[in-house]
Amino acid sequence: MKVFDSECNICIVPARGGSKRLPRKNIHPFLGRPIIDYTVEAARESGLFARIIVSTEDREIGEVARAAGAEVYERPEHLATDQAGVVEVCLQTLEVLAREGMRPARLCCLYATAPMRTAADITGALQLMETSGANGVMAVTCYSISPCYALMKNPKGYLSFVWPEMAELKSQQLPEIEVDNGSTYWVDVEAFIEQKTFYTDRLIGYWMPPERSIDIDTADDLVLAEYYARRLLHGSNPKILP
What pLDDT does 233 receive?
74
Compute the mean pLDDT over every residue in the chain, rounded to the nearest whole number.
92
pLDDT tens column, 211-238? 999 999 999 999 999 999 998 876 544 4
Q: In this structure, what CATH number is given to the domain that contains residue 50?
A: 3.90.550.10
Question: In this prediction, what percent of the chain has a pLDDT beyond 70?
Answer: 94
Instruction: Tell whether the model's pLDDT for residue 242 goes beyond 90.
Output: no
Q: 183-211: per-residue pLDDT in tens?
A: 999 999 999 999 999 999 999 999 999 99
Number of structural domains (the chain) is 1
pLDDT tens by residue, 95-125: 999 999 999 999 999 999 999 999 999 999 9
Residue 87 resides in a domain? yes
Contacts of 238 (CB under 8 A, 6+ apart): none
Q: How do 159-161 and 151-153 pair as beta strands? A: antiparallel
Structural domain containing residue 26: 5-138+178-233
Residue 165: what pLDDT? 93
- Say how far apart CA 46 and CA 28 lie, in whole Å: 23
Residue 172 covered by a domain: no
